[in-house]
Structure 1
């Protein structure tokens, strides 16, 4: 059941009866901000940051990926991902190669060192994941993901 537009006014920042605590993006921003700060603190222990964490997760799950594919999944600018990938290459975490199908495309793969760092980063962040979702059931987490995916799909790409 969707909320009629009239009843959505208190959630809309342009409404006279708006309160920030009723705005879903207020809570999304607060949750993400707190999560990011906690993640950065933990990732420092293994000499990583969130952009590198994202890229390692994407490569671990997807295997070899193009820089463009990584950019889409990380929801980051192509230029930013490109810089991060080449810094990771210098650190020995990833390797790059030219696509055999299209010479303009750079493929990225995780190295053995990158796999080890992937495991190390999950050791230092695992507790945060469990702490974040304490008191929620699997069904609640699944529903949360469904709601967030719907909002994501409703938003324009740029």
Structure 2
């Protein structure tokens, strides 16, 4: 029986060990495990950590832009931000011209949490860079950025 190479249903799938989605998920879990351990000593989640990191690095952000930069869906960010507001890690202001537009900012308490975990976070990142070597580490970041920017 001949396979029709133009029919996607007849093309063989790659083994899962070489499947990009699965390899990316496995790599993400490997990278996130030490960060989860670090965050287990705090009262925030990895999603909340991402929010604090972006706000600390880039300053106040409107909700849509922050959701994009933290890889969160807007409804998830809305739920997460309510908890972070209650804990005092972020503040929220409403745009005076467009009352639907909210801007979130890190508070001094949120910045202190970043400061308190900065050294450990940097050590974790450095361990991956050391394990891969600086050239491979930078190449990996470049390739993943390139992958993210593909228009497929």
CA distance in 2, matches of 1:39, 1:59: 18
Deviation larger for 20-29 or 87-96: 20-29
- Residue 152 of structure 1 corresponds to 148
Determine helix, strand or coil for the equivalent of 1:76.
Answer: coil
CA distance in 2, matches of 1:144, 1:18: 21
How many residue pairs get aligned? The number is 145
Aligned CA RMSD, in angstroms, stands at 2.3
| Alignment deviations for residues 109-130 of structure 1 (CA, whole Å, 9 cap, x no partner) | 1111111011122233232212
Determine helix, strand or coil for the equivalent of 1:83.
Answer: helix
- Residue 80 of structure 2 corresponds to 84
The answer to whether the aligner puts 1:32 opposite 2:28 as a matched pair is yes
- Residue 113 of structure 1 corresponds to 109
The answer to whether the aligner puts 1:42 opposite 2:27 as a matched pair is no
Determine helix, strand or coil for the equivalent of 1:113.
Answer: helix
Query: How big is the shift at 1:87?
Result: 0.6
The answer to whether the aligner puts 1:128 opposite 2:118 as a matched pair is no
Structure 2, unpaired ranges of 5+: none
Residue 64 of structure 1, aligned match among 49, 60, 63: 60
- Residue 18 of structure 2 corresponds to 22
Contact 1:98 1:105 in 2 (8 A): yes
Contact 1:54 1:74 in 2 (8 A): yes
| Alignment deviations for residues 44-76 of structure 1 (CA, whole Å, 9 cap, x no partner) | 112221111100011011101011111011121
Structure 1, unpaired ranges of 5+: 1-5, 7-13
